[in-house]
Structure 1
C-alpha cells in the first residue's frame, strides 16, 4: 500500500509539471486513504515523498542548466479565466450532456450506494469526490483548450454507468445509448 501511495504522489508530480493546477488531486489521495481507514504517519507521508522526489530531480536539473526560474514558475498560479470558452466553441453541448447525464446518474445511484455499508459505498464516495475535484479543475484551469474535459469524463462515466444500471428497462437503456452514439457522430461531423 505504501508503494501505491508513493506512486500516486510520484505520478501526481509528473502531472504537476504538465499542469500545476493538477496538484489539487492530492486531496483525492488523502480522501481515499481516510475513507478506507488506512491513516497512519507512513500513509500520510508516502504521497508527499513520492511528490517531492520528481520535484527535487527537476529542481536539480533546472539548477544545473541555470534555469531555476522555470522551476519556480511552476508554483506561480495564474488567474482563472472565464469559462465562456466552452460556450464559444463546440464544447457547449458536450459539457451540458456530461453535466446532465452525470446529475441524473448521481441522483439515481447515490441513495442506493449510501444505503449499504460495503466497499462500494466507500468507492462511491471516492468517485464523488473525484468528480467534484475534476469539476473545479476544469473551472480553474487558466488555459482552456478542451482537453481538460477528459479529467471530468472519467468519473462522470462511472457515475453515468452506475446510474444506467438502476434503470430496469432495456428499451430505455438502448434509447439512451443510441442517443449518445448518434450525438457523438453528429458532433464529430460538425
Structure 2
C-alpha cells in the first residue's frame, strides 16, 4: 500500500519520487518540445530537471526542519504528484526557477521562529523573493508573507522590519548593474516586465487543465478545513508556522487568479504549501483505504488526462 510505504521518512522515497518526476518530465518534453534537439537543448533540460529535483530536496528540508509535518514522506509524494498532475509546470523554466527561489525564501521565513539570526534570515528571505519577482512579477506578493512572519513571531526590533526593503533593494542594484554590464537598455527591460492583472481564465479551458485544476482545488478546499482545526491544537510557538503555510497557499491562489499569462504552470506556487496541508490531513486519517484513494486518484488522473 502506497500510504503505508510513505508513512515513514526513508531515503528510498527520494529515489521513487525522483524517478516519477523524471518519467513525467521526460514525457512532457518529448511530446511538447518542437525545437531541434541538440547538445545545448539537452543540457538545458538536464538543468531544469535538476531544479525540479532540488526543489523537492529544499521543500523536504524546510518542512522537516520546522516540524510542519510528522516524520513521513507524504509531503514530497504530494509535491511530486501535483507536478505530474499539472505537467505545464515542466514547460515554464522561469516559473520552475522562481518557485525554487520562493522555497528558499519560505525556508528562511519559517525558521524565524527560532529567533536566532533574525536579521540574516529576513534579508535572505527578501533577497530570494526579489529574485523570484524578476522571473514572475507577482511572486512579489510573498513579501506579504515575510511581514506576516515578523508580526506573528512578534519580532519587535524596528530594524528587522526595514531589512526586507534592503534585501529588495539589493536585488534591484544587482539587476541594474548586470543590465549596465551587458549593455541592456533598462527602459526596454522594464517595459518587458508583465505587471498586468488578468481575470480571463479562457486559456485554462483545455480538458486536461480543467480536470487537474479541479482535482487540486478540491483537495485543497477539503484538506484546509481540517488543517485549520488542527492549528488550534498546536502549541503557541508552532501556531505561527502553520498559519504562514496557510497564508503561503492563499498567496499562491491569488497568483493563479491574477496572473496575466494563464497556462496552468502558475499553479506551481501552490504545490509546496498544499503538500504540507495534505500531509497533515493524511496524518489524522485513520482509514487506510481512504488514504489510498486520495493518493491513487492523483496517480490515475494524469493517466486519464492522456486520453482526453
TM-score by length of 1: 0.88
Measure the CA separation in 2 of the matches of 1:188 and 1:42.
53
Aligned to 1:12: 129
Tell me, which stretches of 5 or more residues in structure 1 are unaligned? Answer: none
Aligned to 1:181: 299
Measure the CA separation in 2 of the matches of 1:76 and 1:90.
26
Measure the CA separation in 1 of the matches of 2:230 and 2:174.
46
Cα distance, 1:69–1:99 mapped onto 2, change above 3 Å: same
Alignment of 1:15-30 (within 5 A): 15-30=132-147
Residue 73 (str. 1) matches residue 191 (str. 2): yes
Deviation at 1:188, TM superposition (A): 4.9
Measure the CA separation in 1 of the matches of 2:243 and 2:270.
16
Residue 135 (str. 1) matches residue 253 (str. 2): yes
User: Aligned-residue CA RMSD in angstroms?
Assistant: 2.1
Tell me the secondary structure at the aligned position of residue 205 of structure 2. Answer: helix
**Does structure 2 conserve the Cα–Cα contact (< 8 Å) formed by 1:86 and 1:95?**
no
Deviation at 1:19, TM superposition (A): 1.3
The partner residue of 1:96 within 214, 217, 223 is: 214
Aligned to 1:45: 162
Measure the CA separation in 2 of the matches of 1:86 and 1:66.
34
Measure the CA separation in 2 of the matches of 1:48 and 1:109.
32
Tell me, which stretches of 5 or more residues in structure 2 are unaligned? Answer: 1-117
**Does structure 2 conserve the Cα–Cα contact (< 8 Å) formed by 1:105 and 1:160?**
yes
**Does structure 2 conserve the Cα–Cα contact (< 8 Å) formed by 1:58 and 1:71?**
no
Cα distance, 1:17–1:89 mapped onto 2, change above 3 Å: farther
Deviation at 1:175, TM superposition (A): 2.2
Alignment of 1:58-69 (within 5 A): 58-63=175-180, 65=183, 67-69=185-187
Tell me the secondary structure at the aligned position of residue 124 of structure 1. Answer: helix
Measure the CA separation in 1 of the matches of 2:184 and 2:205.
42
**Does structure 2 conserve the Cα–Cα contact (< 8 Å) formed by 1:81 and 1:143?**
no
Measure the CA separation in 1 of the matches of 2:166 and 2:175.
14
Residue 144 (str. 1) matches residue 255 (str. 2): no
TM-score by length of 2: 0.57
